[in-house]
Amino acid sequence: MRHFTSVNDIGNLDVALKEAFELKKDVFRYDALGKNKTLLAIFFDSSLRTRLSTQKAALNLGMNAIVLDVNQGAWKLETGRGVIMDGDKPEHILEAIPVMGSYCDIIGLRSFARFENKQDDYEEKILNQFIQYSGKPVFSMEAATRHPLQSFADLITIEEYRKTERPKIVLTWAPHPRSLPQAVPNSFAEWINATDYELVITHPEGYELDKRFTGKAKIEYNQDKAFEGADFIYAKNWAAYNDPNYGKILSKDRAWTVDSRKMALTNNAYFMHCLPVRRNMIVTDEVIESPQSIVIPEAANRVISAQVVLKRLLTDNYD
């Protein structure tokens, strides 16, 4: 694996999951693999879980880890070519990227959708510039359209908790006060579609996701109906994808909040969310604090998904 940006880079999912469970049994088994190798984790956007779990994964592998918060202390970066740089951005990303690459062996990048230009977002302009110009293996720590480390951790968690061969997994939109990218739901759909599990996506009309990600999933506009018989409920907000509403909030209807009445329609489903979560917007206190809520083990598995990815990047590029 040269870079990691989507499920397509991980290869056979059964093999990747086996590797994850082996690593989970002994996270220090490969603690010599990263000796004298440096991870540079670059954040254009805020993070708690990704920041900590990715550094922990690197440390478990014996790597050094440097974290750069681009918007706190670094020079503001211009990203457009041909721009006359007479504004407030003193450095161009096309110099900054190879400089950053020269200080490390592997780059992790977080750069969300900006909702300024749908084409730039969906072409993953920033992520691809890092891949093109850094000279180093790059992995996504959530880019404009996908959050593959999260989705891999989600799948590891589903494997740990599923009670049936082919669980019914429901991805449900839920309300949020701010406009959020589609990266988590896109990526979750893409990873679950790579299994043979049943995936149902439920959301209000107007919140349809890009079909390239939702693929064979069933789209159900009636949330109650979608929840019937579900084994896992995965809640997430996202802003509208389709034009002319790209990046807009179309609804904050709390009738879509995941509550105990809706959970009672399921097959005693587990509740999942990538976190951070807005309580009593996305999910009620009662549901997220219930025994069926697995958001904490789900977040803990972020170390394991990152460690599998870093281990492969180290092995395939430096071993």
Q: Assess 300 for contact with ligand CP (CB under 6 A).
A: no
Contact 226, 197 (CB under 8 A): no
Contact 193, 216 (CB under 8 A): yes
Give the pair of three-digit tokens for residue 164. Answer: 């049936």
Q: Assess 47 for contact with ligand CP (CB under 6 A).
A: yes
Q: Assess 214 for contact with ligand CP (CB under 6 A).
A: no
Interface residue with ligand CP, options 5, 55, 150, 293 (CB under 6 A) = 150
- Best CA proximity match to 111, nearest among 62, 166, 181: 181
CB of 72 to ligand CP, least distance (A): 16
Interface residue with ligand CP, options 5, 50, 257, 305 (CB under 6 A) = 50
Find the part of the chain contacting ligand CP (CB under 6 A) among 42-50, 74-82, 160-168, 254-262.
42-50
Helix (H) or strand (E) holding 39: strand 38-43
Backbone CA torsion sign across 17, 20, 25, 29: positive
Q: How far is CA 125 from CA 45, 144, 174, 261, in A?
A: 16, 9, 28, 42
Q: Assess 297 for contact with ligand CP (CB under 6 A).
A: no
CB of 150 to ligand CP, least distance (A): 5
Interface residue with ligand CP, options 105, 121, 124, 142 (CB under 6 A) = 142
What residue type is 39 in one-letter code?
L
Compute the distance between CA of residue 178 and CA of residue 164 in angstroms, rounded to an integer: 36
Q: Assess 275 for contact with ligand CP (CB under 6 A).
A: yes
Find the part of the chain contacting ligand CP (CB under 6 A) among 5-13, 59-67, 232-240, 269-277.
269-277
Contact 9, 1 (CB under 8 A): yes
Q: Which is nearer to ligand CP, 78 or 299 (CB)?
A: 299
Strand partners, 258: 283
Find the part of the chain contacting ligand CP (CB under 6 A) among 3-11, 15-23, 30-38, 46-54.
46-54
CB of 286 to ligand CP, least distance (A): 22
Fill in the DSSP letter of residue 279.
Answer: B
> Could you list the residues that contact ligand CP (CB under 6 A)?
47-50, 142, 150, 274-276
